[in-house]
Amino acid sequence: MPSISEKGKAMPASPIRKLVPYAEEAKRKGRKVYHLNIGQPDIPTPEVALNALRNINLKVIEYSHSAGNESYRRKLATYYQKIGININHTEMLITTGGSEAIIFALMACINPGEEVITPEPFYANYNGFATTAGIKIVPVTSYIKDDFALPPIQDIEKKITSKTKGIIVCNPNNPTGYLYSKEELLHLKEIVKKHDLFLFSDEAYRDFCYDGAEHFSAMNLDGIDNNVILLDSVSKRYSECGVRIGALITKNKDVISTALKFAQARLSPPGLGQIVGEASIDTPDEYFKEVNREYTARRNFMVEALNKIPGVYCPQPKGAFYTVVKLPVDDADKFAKWLLEEFEYKNQTVMVAPASGFYSTPGSGKNEVRIAYVLKIDDLKNAMMILGEALKVYPGRV
C-alpha cells in the first residue's frame, strides 16, 4: 500500500476536536455533555446578515474576484476606518475564514524551514498552519502565574535567529483571554523594527474586550507599516463561524500581490459568505453592546465559580471568550477523556480542551485546560457544578 506524505504524518490533530468521538459516545449513553471545549458562540447571528441570505435574488452564484467582491472590500474598508485603522479596499484580500488568511500570510512571507515566534499557549491551529506552510513555530512561554501577560522582551529576543522571519500574536488571545496592551505592542514594535520582522496580528476577537478596556490594533503601530499583517474574521464578531469569511490586510503591496497568487490558485472565497459578511457591516452598535454585556456576565460568573473550587486557579480574562484554567489533576488530557468516558453527575458531564495542545514546549500545560464560556449562564452553572463534582472523585487528583 502506498505511504502517506511526511507532511501528512506531521500534521497535528486538533486538541479541541480530538475528543469528539468520546463526547459522541457519552451522548449515545444518554448523557448530556456541556461543551466548554470549542469557541462556537450561541449568540444569534445579526438579523441584517440573515436577511441578506433570505433575500438573495441571484440567477447564478458565480465566482467572485480572487481578492473578494470589490463592493465588500470597499465596505469593509469603511468598517476599519471607523475604528481608526486607515486602509483602503486594495490593501486587503477576502479569505475563506481567518484560517486561510493566516496560511496565505505565512506562505507569502516565510520560506519553508524558516521560523515564526509566538507566545504560548497559542491558538492550536497555528501548528497546523505552520506545518501546511513548511515553517516552524518557535514558542516563547507565558505563564498562568502572570495571567499570561506578554513574555519579557528579552525572552522574545533570545528566540530570534537567522531563520526568524516573524512574530505572530493573537489579540485578544485565544486560548488565554489575555488582552495585550498598547504598551506591550509598542515593545513588540521595537523588536520587529530592530530585526526587520513581519508582525502577524490575529485580531479576530477585537470586539470582545471587557471592563472598559480598549483594543489597540497592530495596524496603528507607527513606522512599521510594511511589517504588519492584520488577520481577521467574521466568525466570532457576528457569530458567523459557518460562513467561512476572513480577511488579510496589510499596507505591504508585495505581500498583497504575493498572497493574491495563492488566492487565485483557490479561485475565490465563498460567494454566499461574502454576501453575509458585507451585510453584517450594517449590524447596529446595540448588538455589540448586548453581546459584551452577556459575555461579561458569563465571564464573571465562571471565573468566580471556578476559583471557588478547591485547587483550581482561573485568571480573569480581559478579552475573547476563553480562559486557561489550572486544575488539581495529574494530567489534563487524561482528565478530559475521563470526564467523557467514565464520569457522570446526574447523567451529565462536561467537555474541556486540554491546554497541552496549545503549547509547543513539551510538558507544558499538563495540568491546565482551556474553557470557552460560550454557554448561557444557566448552562454554565450546571457545567461548573459538574466540574467541581468531577474533581472531588477524579482518581488522578493531586
- Residue 14 — very low, low, confident or very high, per pLDDT cuts 50/70/90? confident
Q: Where in the chain is the domain with CATH 3.40.640.10?
A: 47-280
Torsion of the alpha carbons at 125, 128, 129 and 134, rounded to the nearest 10: 160
| Rg, Å, the chain Cα set | 21
DSSP letter for 388, please: H
The overall average pLDDT reported for the chain is 96
Task: Kindly give, in sequence order, each residue whose CB lies less than 8 Å from that of residue 366, ignoring residues fewer than 6 positions away.
Answer: 331, 332, 356
Burial label, 58 (beta-carbon count in 10 A; 0-12, 13-18, 19+):
exposed
Q: How many CB atoms lie within 10 A of CB 389?
A: 18
Cα atoms found within 13 Å of the Cα of residue 112, Cβ hemisphere only: 5
Query: Nine-digit cell at 238?
Result: 457576528
pLDDT at 17: 77
Tell me the per-residue pLDDT of 196-218, one tens digit each, with 9 for 90 and over: 999 999 999 999 999 999 999 99
Which residues of the chain form CATH 3.90.1150.10? Answer: 6-44+286-393
Q: How many whole angstroms separate alpha carbon 357 and alpha carbon 274?
A: 32
Whole-number percent of the chain with pLDDT over 70 = 100
pLDDT score of 105? 98
**Coil/strand/helix, residue 4:** coil
- For residue 13, what pLDDT band results from cuts at 50, 70 and 90? confident
Amino acid type, 333: D
Q: Which long-range contacts (CB under 8 A, 24 or more apart) does 147-152 make?
A: 147/176, 147/178, 147/315, 147/316, 148/119, 148/121, 148/173, 148/176, 148/177, 148/178, 148/315, 148/324, 149/178, 149/184, 150/119, 150/180, 150/184, 150/187, 150/188, 151/119
User: 51 vs 276, 352, 377, CA distance in Å?
Assistant: 9, 34, 28
For residues 278 and 72, give the distance between their C-alpha atoms in angstroms, rounded to a whole number. 5
pLDDT given for residue 76 in this prediction: 98
Taken in order 303, 36, 127, 256, the sign of the CA dihedral is negative
pLDDT over threshold 80, residue 15? no
What does pTM read for this prediction? 0.96
Cα distances (Å, whole numbers) of residue 288 to 131, 210, 285, 379: 35, 12, 5, 22
Under the banding of pLDDT at 50, 70 and 90, the label for residue 393 is very high
- The torsion angle over the Cα atoms of residues 284, 286, 287 and 288, rounded to 10 degrees, is 100
User: What dihedral angle (degrees, nearest 10) is formed by the CA atoms of 71, 76, 77, 78?
Assistant: 100
Residue with cell 505592542: 185
Distance of CA 65 to the CA centre of its chain: 27
pLDDT single digits (tens) 262-273? 999 999 999 999
pLDDT of residue 149: 96
Tell me the CATH number for domain 6-44+286-393. 3.90.1150.10
Cβ proximity of 106 and 136 under 8 Å:
no
pLDDT digits (tens, 9 = 90+) for 143-163: 999 999 999 999 999 999 999
Please give the share of the chain, as a percent, with pLDDT higher than 90.
97
In words, the CATH class of domain 47-280 is alpha beta
